[in-house]
């Protein structure tokens, strides 16, 4: 998601501090080994001289020099590991130390096409910041399938709720196979946001990226970035993560001030996420006719053709819970 420059810089500084700390830790380990096993230090310091000599011979035309260098260094490595174990240290005690071996604590990895991409650990930090900003962690701590109850529903309301719960379970079960999309619509307090939180919790537990926005906050942020001349790069990053997160939740669609900009942005979001095969949940108090009137026929067409439409009805469960 579009981190601010300050947030991005802080993540990069955290990586620098991690690398500095791990280098210091490795230096301390090496000092201990040198003190306890003097022959290890002698072998360590001999490598540079051996390498220089063999490289010089290779330059002078000795075709076997580099092969001999490789064998000699390999023999030294074996001896060093033996000295470590004899001295009571693990064989990897002086290997480089990384919190994340995949990116070696840089935050970036090389892709197959030779480009740099954010490592999974960077994305985890990035998403964590956004979770905190959107309060999704607090939501999923209370709104999950383990706290779900059918006790507040009866008759047709109960059947509708059970169907919606089933569709949410299907979305979780199918996350590795195909993206599912759901529209939860109905009156206030019937469980729409609760079910969104249930699905978000399951995605997070399986290590999947989830971004949650109320419709109002989403479109306000898009407008802030789109209409600022100096926010183009931030807007690009925002779009990138909005379109690519594995689960996007847009809560309370219809509570924002709807205009042409909002309708266009909503359609673009639905369209791009469908093309990229990403899962989306939309909750709204609007019915299908109201969605069409507010956002256009093409938005409704996207929803009805690509989303499971789940109606919820019944009492305001939140009021019952407060009373209980």
C-alpha 69/C-alpha 58 separation (Å) is 10
Residues 135-323, CATH architecture:
3-Layer(aba) Sandwich (3.40)
| Per-domain residue ranges of the chain | 5-110, 135-323
pLDDT in single tens digits along all 324 residues of the chain: 446 678 889 999 999 999 999 999 999 999 999 999 999 999 888 877 776 766 676 676 766 766 766 788 888 889 989 999 999 999 999 999 999 999 999 999 998 888 999 999 998 887 777 666 555 776 666 777 888 889 889 999 999 999 999 999 999 999 988 889 999 999 998 999 999 999 998 888 776 788 889 999 999 999 999 999 888 888 998 898 899 988 999 999 999 999 999 999 999 999 999 999 999 999 999 999 999 999 999 999 999 999 999 999 988 776 656 544
Whether 180 contacts 308, CB under 8 Å: yes
Strand partners, 311: 185
How far are the Cα atoms of 103, 248, 285 from residue 116, in angstroms, in the given order?
A: 10, 25, 43
Contacts of 168 (CB under 8 A, 6+ apart): 182, 195, 198, 199
Report yes or no on whether pTM surpasses 0.85: no
Per-position b or e across 32-70, b if 16+ CB within 10 A of its CB = ebeeebeebeeeeeeeeeeeeebeebbeeeeeebeeebe
């Amino acid at each position: 998601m579009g981190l601010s420059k300050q947030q991005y810089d802080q993540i990069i500084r955290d990586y620098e501090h991690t690398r500095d700390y791990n280098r210091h830790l490795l230096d301390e380990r090496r000092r201990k080994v040198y003190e306890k096993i003097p022959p290890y230090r002698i072998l360590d310091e001999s490598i540079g001289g051996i390498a220089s000599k063999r490289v010089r011979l290779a330059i002078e035309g000795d075709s076997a020099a580099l092969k001999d260098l490789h064998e000699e260094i390999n023999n030294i490595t074996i001896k060093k590991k033996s000295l470590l174990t004899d001295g009571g240290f693990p064989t990897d005690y002086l290997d480089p130390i990384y919190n994340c071996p995949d990116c070696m604590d840089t935050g970036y990895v090389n892709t197959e096409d030779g480009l740099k991409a954010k490592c999974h650990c960077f994305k985890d930090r990035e998403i964590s910041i956004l979770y905190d900003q959107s309060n999704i962690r607090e939501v999923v701590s209370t709104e999950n399938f383990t706290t779900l109850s059918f006790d507040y529903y009866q008759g047709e309301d109960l059947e509708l709720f059970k169907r919606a719960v089933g569709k949410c379970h299907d979305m979780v079960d199918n996350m590795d196979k195909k993206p599912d999309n759901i529209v939860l619509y109905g009156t206030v307090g019937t469980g729409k946001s609760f079910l969104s939180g249930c699905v978000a919790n399951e995605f997070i537990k399986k290590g999947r990226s989830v971004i949650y926005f109320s419709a109002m906050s989403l479109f306000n942020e898009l407008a802030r970035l789109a209409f600022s001349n100096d926010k183009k790069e931030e807007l690009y990053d925002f779009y990138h993560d909005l379109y690519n997160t594995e689960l996007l939740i847009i809560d309370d669609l219809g509570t924002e001030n709807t205009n042409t900009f909002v309708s266009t942005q909503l359609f673009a979001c639905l369209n791009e996420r469908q093309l990229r095969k990403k899962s989306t949940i939309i909750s709204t108090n609007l019915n299908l006719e109201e969605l069409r009137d507010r956002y256009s026929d093409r938005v409704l067409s996207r929803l009805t053709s690509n989303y499971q439409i789940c109606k919820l009805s019944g009492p305001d469960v939140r009021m019952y819970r407060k009373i209980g």
